Structure 1
């Protein structure tokens, strides 16, 4: 069991010395496998937390959103930022409000206030946020399986779908381009060993070079990932594959609890054995694919989530009035130097 004493280790000194953290921290907790109850001897210790915005952030010229320490796998969010993430039922942050008591490494009065108010953040937005994360997790699983077991033509189709999804997302992150000016499609190939190949038609004018470089790099990386077939470390990759499968089912479990019970249960006490069985490869076949039992389990949870989404008593939107009152109450105390 991980104790609060880990924060005394030298590698966590930044928590005390960083100007945005220190006395501003209201909550620190374990994240990842330890918080879910699915840790093993190889699990990393991940820490997540919340720190109040400083007075100068609120009415001055400074700003703070989050602090990340890669060395210790620690991420500490600014209070105002995490509120916005919680409003969208972001799975990576909402789970911080549902830890087991012993998994909170630090919790002061304001942190407890946040936990006491956790239900005001819950709404039907969880359907889309958890559903989106589950879809992404399933895509990772499918992509990995496709790299290893699909015929060449099927792999090419899979790469095509991944690139097409990436192109669809480019407009949100890069300079926009006219519809049809970047066209991805499958056509007959002239290359030996390929019946079908992905082609690109590009017709861009006066387009920012750096954005184009990033777009090309993303598409190139997708293709490179698939081209690593035969070079992979099977044991290591199987571990990742099983971990993806476990997190996929875990996301469904958490979403169903939120929608059916209005509860955030991060530690999966009743399903711990099942999740560990998935992580330990009990549902994976010799050829690397997953058994019919796993896909039956996945279908069951998909159906349960659909039912929960259609029958939840959660409101369409979070209780913005109460959220605003809570945020104003906390930030007002910061500005008045009361905390």
Structure 2
């Protein structure tokens, strides 16, 4: 869809990112996030759209978006899905301080924001925080022990012509995923366990990100009726692809680092921004479980200066990791006492989605 069509059907656009958190600096970008409701053809026809995240140099009706590359406007059904899953980056959009665009339809969605809060926030907020920690650890490893050479197949005991390509690896792992899923279909009656194994655990991600351990090779060989030499080659090729992926990520990190951020990172020994966001996410998760509210603006939460101190390198890597460890333990405790429902009421959310579409009209 063209920019002007999306903006005409936008129900709200809010100022998110560092400005939303009250942590912006003079050089901070403006991150705008919003919601629009697609026209009739996208609901009843074959056309599909989930979000508009580019094309802000096209003609539009909101000048503050002109040329802004940090703008994403989600289609209603997409954002409802993300909200229902307690996605931290999206959940906070219903609790922002500033909405440059807000219609009565958008206000109706915001008025029902409590519908989307559930105990799932423990898993999503801690999961997003852990992702920040993984990035911190990767960058710290590159800072302290940078890789020297591009990995070669021979480093992993395989001939170059025998290496499985990325497509071949993914095709086999997709096959392995389907076999694993087939093995747990009989658990469908045990709803919670079935949900855990088929939805809450990302088997595809695990299979594609991590090398098969030695202790699983015989079972994998039997499950897939493969030759032993193929399974060994698969394991070695996985290890090679993981190393190659890390090498490419290292080169990209070196090339695209913000010079100021890189200098701070060099002095402190870790990525300060990832460290700050890790602590922010964990504190937010604890707050939601305890109060049933999302406090986006950290000035209101009372820890804006403390988060700025992390950004300014006033805390060591060890101190930030200890903070994270303590917050994870605190979240576990608060989770047990929280009065939030274990999961959102999807029937009510579905009714809300239909109400919003009807309010907007075609």
Same fold (TM over 0.5): yes
1:116 CA displacement: 0.5
* Aligned residue among 256, 269, 278 for 2:310: 278
Per-residue Cα deviation, 1:2-49 (whole angstroms, up to 9, x for no partner): xxxxxxxxxxxx9xx625413210010112111111111221111110
* Aligned residue among 311, 321, 324 for 1:295: 321
Q: Distance in 1 between matches of 2:292 and 2:170?
A: 35
Q: Distance in 2 between matches of 1:173 and 1:129?
A: 29
Aligned to 1:202: 233
1:115 aligns with 2:110: yes
Q: Compared with structure 1, are the counterparts of its residues 85 and 248 closer, same or farther at alpha carbon in structure 2 (3 Å cutoff)?
A: same
Aligned to 1:190: none
Q: Compared with structure 1, are the counterparts of its residues 171 and 137 closer, same or farther at alpha carbon in structure 2 (3 Å cutoff)?
A: farther
* Aligned residue among 74, 77, 80 for 2:71: 74
Alpha-carbon contact 1:184-1:201 (below 8 Å) kept? no
Alpha-carbon contact 2:105-2:360 (below 8 Å) kept? no
1:83 aligns with 2:80: yes
1:300 CA displacement: 2.5
Aligned to 1:36: 21
Q: Distance in 2 between matches of 1:120 and 1:88?
A: 12
1:147 CA displacement: 2.0
Aligned to 1:320: 346
Alpha-carbon contact 1:20-1:51 (below 8 Å) kept? no
Q: Distance in 1 between matches of 2:329 and 2:111?
A: 31
Quick check: 77-86 or 38-47, which moved more?
A: 38-47
1:144 CA displacement: 1.3
* Aligned residue among 333, 353, 358 for 1:307: 333
Q: Compared with structure 1, are the counterparts of its residues 183 and 271 closer, same or farther at alpha carbon in structure 2 (3 Å cutoff)?
A: closer
Q: Secondary structure at the match of 1:326?
A: helix
1:237 aligns with 2:249: no
Q: Secondary structure at the match of 2:33?
A: strand
Alpha-carbon contact 1:20-1:64 (below 8 Å) kept? no
Q: Distance in 1 between matches of 2:296 and 2:172?
A: 31
Aligned length: 278
In the superposition, the TM-score normalised over structure 2's length comes to 0.67
Aligned to 1:246: 276
1:176 aligns with 2:175: yes
Q: Which runs of no fewer than 5 residues in structure 2 stay unpaired?
A: 56-66, 157-165, 181-206, 215-230, 266-270
Alpha-carbon contact 1:86-1:93 (below 8 Å) kept? yes
Q: Compared with structure 1, are the counterparts of its residues 34 and 201 closer, same or farther at alpha carbon in structure 2 (3 Å cutoff)?
A: farther
What's the Cα RMSD here? Answer: 3.8
Structure with more strand by fraction: 1
1:139 aligns with 2:134: yes
Q: Secondary structure at the match of 2:245?
A: helix
1:58 aligns with 2:43: yes
Per-residue Cα deviation, 1:267-313 (whole angstroms, up to 9, x for no partner): 111110001111111114xxxxx2x4333322322222121222211
Structure with more helix by fraction: 2
1:246 CA displacement: 0.5
Quick check: 214-223 or 136-145, which moved more?
A: 214-223
Q: Distance in 2 between matches of 1:108 and 1:20?
A: 16
Q: Compared with structure 1, are the counterparts of its residues 233 and 89 closer, same or farther at alpha carbon in structure 2 (3 Å cutoff)?
A: closer
Q: Distance in 1 between matches of 2:324 and 2:234?
A: 42
Q: Distance in 1 between matches of 2:313 and 2:341?
A: 38
Q: Distance in 1 between matches of 2:171 and 2:122?
A: 22
Q: Secondary structure at the match of 1:30?
A: strand
1:260 CA displacement: 0.9
